[in-house]
Structure 1
């Protein structure tokens, strides 16, 4: 998605027949289950289903063009990974100027789980917005730990008090979840995709 100008609810001319836009975005929602690199775009476009415009349709076609050029891409999971769960969380505080609700995201460093969606209400500060998303990411880590435990794969239970869960600051250049909270310039987006693990995969 283009970094500028921002895609807004009332930008562009309203579509007389939004059915094709809705069909495309609905299909992209399914594809986003296996392509974290389009999670933000799909989340953003889904917010315009009730009032679709020409600008929204152009943004959707831009995503389709990107997918057409990366049809051989997938998620690369190295076989020598350490059995440690790490997640990145980020939020774009009040980034949506239509309603000032923050977009938050979390992403595992090996892309086994990710999410990009708007918060339920307006955060009064960037700290509040970040704290909400850290809580979401921690809940997801705890769920994955429980799932692995049922599969008899031992992972320490995620609790801050016991030291099994550590929260650390991550610089912007190393923040993998950044690509799931806002549109990035091309170079930054491609760099983030490579670090997430979305890359060209060999044909089977």
Structure 2
């Protein structure tokens, strides 16, 4: 694949399902490639969604899945100099972007949630993962994503505390769903949200104690959008640069 023609995005916008394509006679190579890419995704958030999506077909990969895996390799061929830009001139603050693609998987209608956590202006933690069950509204899907992000922020703040690092302000989660943002700040628990009561009280507890803030952000500025669905080239390249993945000279 070193001589393959590079592509601008790691994943096509064409729908990919479990049964698309013809089953591979030998899935060993596919599983080896995806397993290797999972390690690479630890330092390349721009391929996190594509790797997570293709990992869902490890048990029964097809020719279409194999072509999608090779597309990631073609994307990496053209971005071998890309990496995470770590800043040293920012305040020691923690903030995160949380997003969810409601019912994004058309085969089972389960949403994909994602988050990107920043420390001092640099990305240090990210995730793209399917939720455990079907969300009945976009607000529910987004609120579950906020709860997952809050859990990770709790762990990071605990780690920083053990290292003797004091944050100048409470961590902030940026969410682009008005309903989920309003639910975070609403002290009244509605019966229509009782099926996500644990997530609700988990997030509310941190907000009421002043250990967390949830703020609304426009969809255009939602960086985690790149980790929830395949995007067209202009939008993907814009978000990848804003996330902090850019071409860097060897150190």
Task: Tell me how many residue pairs correspond in the alignment.
Answer: 204
Deviation at 1:53, TM superposition (A): 0.7
Q: Structure 1's 157 and 187: CA in aligned 2 closer, same or farther, altered over 3 A? A: closer
Partner of residue 153, structure 1:
165
Select which of 116, 135, 142 maps to 1:130. Answer: 142
TM-score normalised by the chain length of structure 2: 0.78
Larger Cα-atom Rg: 2
SS in 1 for 2:208: coil
Q: Distance in 2 between the 1:65 and 1:3 partners? A: 12
TM-score normalised by the chain length of structure 1: 0.96
Select which of 130, 146, 163 maps to 2:210. Answer: 163
Deviation at 1:163, TM superposition (A): 3.3
Deviation at 1:157, TM superposition (A): 6.1
- Superposition RMSD in Å: 1.3
Whether 2:182 is the aligned partner of 1:173: answer no
Deviation at 1:69, TM superposition (A): 1.0
Partner of residue 234, structure 2:
187
Q: For the Cα contact (< 8 Å) 2:117–2:125, is it kept in 1? A: yes
Structure 1 stretch displaced more, 151-160 or 173-182: 151-160
Structure 1 gap segments, 5+ residues each: none
Structure 2 gap segments, 5+ residues each: 1-9, 172-205
Select which of 35, 38, 58 maps to 1:26. Answer: 35
Deviation at 1:184, TM superposition (A): 0.4
Partner of residue 14, structure 1:
23
Deviation at 1:203, TM superposition (A): 1.0
Q: For the Cα contact (< 8 Å) 1:105–1:177, is it kept in 2? A: yes
Structure 1 stretch displaced more, 3-12 or 45-54: 3-12
